[in-house]
Structure 1
Amino acid sequence: MSMSSNRPPDADPLAPHRGRLLGLAYRMLGSRSDAEDIVQDAYLRFAGAEGVQNPEAFLVTIVTRLCLDRLKSARTQREVYVGPWLPEPVCDAEGLSADAATELADDLSFALLLALDRLSPMERAAFLLHDVFDTPFSEVASMLDRSEAACRQLATRARRAVRDERPTPAATPDNHARLLMAFSEAATSGNVARLAELLCEDAVAITDGGGRKTAALNPIMGADKIARFFIGVTAKNAGHDIRIEPAIINGAFGALLYLDGELDHAVSMAIDGERIAAIYIVRNPDKLRHLQPDVTA
């Protein structure tokens, strides 16, 4: 029997859905490179399928199921991961848009991605499909091969967990940029007191080196400890050519730090009011490889 192609002449059927598919896979996996692999695999399966009436639903279903499969192997890899795990940072957040009128559609913050990572894979999928990508539960049930009632329960548990862990609403861009600049200046000048003043008393700093680069093996808790940690890191790098470039990291103001001309780490911050609540630093070179900075002026 001959196979009918789902690809119209001179058209890429994936193009209208690519951002949505990448956004779903990235939120599921926390890796842009893995998300691209998943979407490409889904496209190949779509191209080889017959009689697909709804390309978007078909592709979303395939991407979701491939992500669930990938998470099974990721769980084993995470058990041997050195130090804290952080998502792979992205600078082109617009290319991962959920393209939906939901509260979380444009949220790619590290805080949300870490909250998602603590959910079970099925909870994560149900929550993302419904609450972020605005997919009706009747369709979510089909995609996850669960009853509609079960999918509602999964999403409810996930929603509760995410609300408990998400920070207060993000700071304004101007305030975010101001705090980032003040933090950089205080760290460079070695002013521990000033650095601590910029942080919430219960702030946390998480560094991800993945065993490839030096990083704290546990989260650093408290304003004073974080301040002293960054002063120490700055002092150790005093002999290097350091360049800090402001950048949009996961949809919020952050920075890319270069040592001797090489990208060394990406920094993202969560702001609570007028102070920094959390600092996320990715040094693992595997997670920086695909970073294409959208550097602000």
Structure 2
Amino acid sequence: MEQSKNSVQYFNSEECIKLKLKNYAVMILNQPIIHPSQFLIPFWNGANIRMTVDGGTNRWFNFIDGHNTDEKILPIDIVTGDFDSINNVNLKKAQDIGAKIISTENQDETDFTKAIRALSEQCLQRNIEIDTIFVICQSSGRIDQIMANINTLYEIVKLKLCNESITTCLFSNDSFTWLLQPGKHVINVPDALKTSKNAWCGLVPIGEKCDNLSTTGLKWNLDRGSLAFGSLVSTSNTYDGSNFVTIENEVQLLWCMGLLPLFNDVFSIPDVEQ
């Protein structure tokens, strides 16, 4: 993702899956990691900074131990949390490999929210430039945790937890989810998504009505339309075959898009259910 000079935000999901991104951070939450290992390990290694959040440290070490690879796996840079989930063995292991351990005790915020603040501070201290924070998590399972993750996306903006030019993206094994700020957005649609019957995407208004919303490139577009809970929300949408989706919105709006056809196309993963 990048914010261009004319304030058009552009995102290319294919470059992400094909490991062609630069200047990003990876953060692992305490949720199952079921991303393809042939993708996730190089993706982790390519990050400018790597972080695990509390029990996410256990998840990451277990993921590494469960996948045989000859590829060198770079160490964790930062571990944060109130440490009620990480086990002592993995906490010491992280310390031994040189990870900076940052305790975040505030119980009024989630570990994810506190981790974003800590990551931002560490990037400033270390002079590390990032454009995107990819948060390895899941979009299914406990609905309260899913909603808490989405709430953090809104807190990042409201509480100014990191530079406003940085986009935080929830990255599950089958989808991307991030918050569109007011403005115009251009999203690249890879061929694998344009042609797949299993491709899906959605625009979800949370907390406020979204008026004067215009889109192109979707099967069901809006022309200065409105989305609101209790009324119309754009879920189970898909693409019309165009190379790009464009979105113009006046208030914050949640965008989500499925990735399984793209993962399958790039990595030939036949056993991933769609």
Q: State TM-score, norm by structure 1.
A: 0.25
With structure 2 as the length reference, what TM-score do the two structures score?
0.26
Determine which structure has the larger helix proportion and give its number.
1
Kindly indicate which of the two structures has a greater share of residues assigned to strand.
2
Larger Rg: 1
